[in-house]
Amino acid sequence: MSELQPPKTPKAPKTSAPSVLFVCVHNAGRSQMAAAFLTHLAGNRIEVRSAGSAPAATVNPAVVAAMHEVGIDLAAETPKVLTAEAVRASDVVITMGCGDACPVFPGKQYLDWTLEDPAGRGVDAVRQIRDEIEERVRRLATGLGVPLDA
């Protein structure tokens, strides 16, 4: 008599939504702003992640303040460590000054956004960085064929 085999669990199909990972060193400024903008503008039409190669303890307070000015609350966000799994799970990986810390896997699209680092800067300087990130995020979503909410 043969043993009963447990039913096989089917693998979840890949969602049709593209996935984007934003990476910077501390995951406390640029990558947090980019992820927040993309989530805010595209909703669940894009899967969004952010991480840092050497995450800080908290998100930069000037970044939190600058994003609050445009109606996006980052107060509860925490920096996350960059993992190979996060890169593998993403279709597009956007680096922002993290150097060679980001693992490279075949089949992924990699973009490097040269942006000023908001670390140690006040809200006035962060506003300019924030606005540039928003413009780039809008172009990214359009390039991915994803309609924006605002």
What mean pLDDT is reported for the chain? Answer: 88
pLDDT per residue as tens digits for the range 18-70: 999 999 999 999 999 999 999 999 999 999 999 998 999 999 999 999 999 99
pLDDT at 96: 92
Percentage of the chain beyond pLDDT 90 is 76
- All structural domains of the chain with their residue ranges: 37-142
- Residue range 37-142 forms a domain whose CATH class is alpha beta
pTM: 0.86
Q: What share of the chain is helix, strand, coil (3-state, %, to 5)?
A: 35, 15, 50
Instruction: Give the residue numbers marked as catalytic.
Output: 24, 98, 102
pLDDT per residue as tens digits for the range 98-113: 666 677 778 889 999 9
Cβ burial of 129 (10 Å; 0-12, 13-18, 19+) is buried
Q: Is 21 helix (H, G, I), strand (E, B) or coil?
A: strand
